[in-house]
Structure 1
Amino acid sequence: MSTFAALHTMEEIDSFITENELAFIYITMPNCSVCHGLLPQIEAMFKQFPNIATRQVDAAEVQEIAGRFEIFTAPVLLLFVDGKEYLREARIVQTAKLEAQVKRLYENFYEN
């Protein structure tokens, strides 16, 4: 069971992105072994960044997300800063690299 709450509509997704300064979305597909295997690692990583709001979206349930964010594979990890896409990782994610990028952003964002 995921610790990331799920979003079920494009309206929920849009609201989530606009209402949070730092918003992270983990996009999956139901039969994606990479999606399900990577999720626990990503959830554990984001525990060290408590000010980043996190959610999960099933692209099979919210099919419009593929067109909106130009998604062609899964998983897709999107990080938004003030409503703008800042970081995107897809399919094969290097968790150490991702963690370093998020940490750098997080530290810079909260230094000021």
Structure 2
Amino acid sequence: MKEVIELTSVMEIDDFLKKNELSFLYVSTPGCSICHALLPKLQELLSRYPLIIFGHIDAGKVQEVAGKFLILSAPVMLLMIGQKEVLREDRFVRFDVLQEKLDRIYRMFNGENNPEV
């Protein structure tokens, strides 16, 4: 399972994005059953991508995250290269489609043409 780094402030989020060239942010809310169900599935999926650093933000604790990333509902998943958003998925996620998108972006990030990650 992929390690999850808990981000508890906007400053921590900013530092996380500055330090990690390829990162995945997962924004959830405390009372969201979908959010809680998706977290272990994301950990499993992201374990295929060793260069992606996985950060979790509880929007109940870091309320400013909604304004920072223009989030209207939870859960939200953001793949970031540097501090730029390159992929956004929200609410109901098809993991097969998400994996295809991650594969494509991951290969491009690594300069690979190989279809297998």
| In 2: Cα distance, 1:82 partner to 1:68 partner | 16
Per the normalisation by structure 2, the TM-score is 0.90
User: Any stretches of 5+ residues in structure 1 without a counterpart?
Assistant: none
Separation in 2, partners of 1:65, 1:8:
10
Tell me the equivalent position of 1:110.
110
Give the Cα–Cα distance (whole angstroms) in 2 for the partners of residues 82 and 8 of structure 1.
Answer: 20
Tell me the CA shift for residue 111 of structure 1: 2.4
Q: Which amino acid aligns with 1:91?
A: R
Whichever residue aligns with residue 55 of structure 2, its letter is R
Instruction: Look up the equivalent residue of 2:89 and give its one-letter code.
Output: E
Amino acid at match of 1:61: K
Q: Distance in 2 between matches of 1:103 and 1:12?
A: 27
Q: TM-score, normalized by length of structure 1?
A: 0.94
Instruction: Supply the distance in 2 between the matched residues of 1:29 and 1:81 (Cα, whole angstroms).
Output: 24
**Which segments of structure 1 move beyond 6 Å, counting only runs of 4 or more?**
none
- Alignment pair present for 1:35 and 2:27: no
Q: Structure 2: state its 5+ residue gaps.
A: 113-117
User: What residue in structure 1 maps to residue 94 of structure 2?
Assistant: 94
Letter in structure 2 aligned against 1:7: L
How far apart, CA to CA, are the structure 2 residues paired with 1:111 and 1:71? Answer: 31
Aligned partner of residue 74 in structure 1, secondary structure:
coil
**1:13-65, CA deviations, whole angstroms, 9 ceiling, x for partnerless residues?**
01111211101111000010000111111110000001001110000100000
| CA RMSD after TM alignment | 1.3
Deviations 1:50-95 (A, max 9, x none): 1001110000100000011111111000110121000001111111
Where do 1:1-112 residues align within 5 Å?
3-111=3-111
2: distance between equivalents of 1:68 and 1:82? 16
Aligned length: 111
Paired AA for residue 22 in structure 1: L
Letter in 1 for 2:111: E
Calculate percent identity across the aligned residue pairs: 41
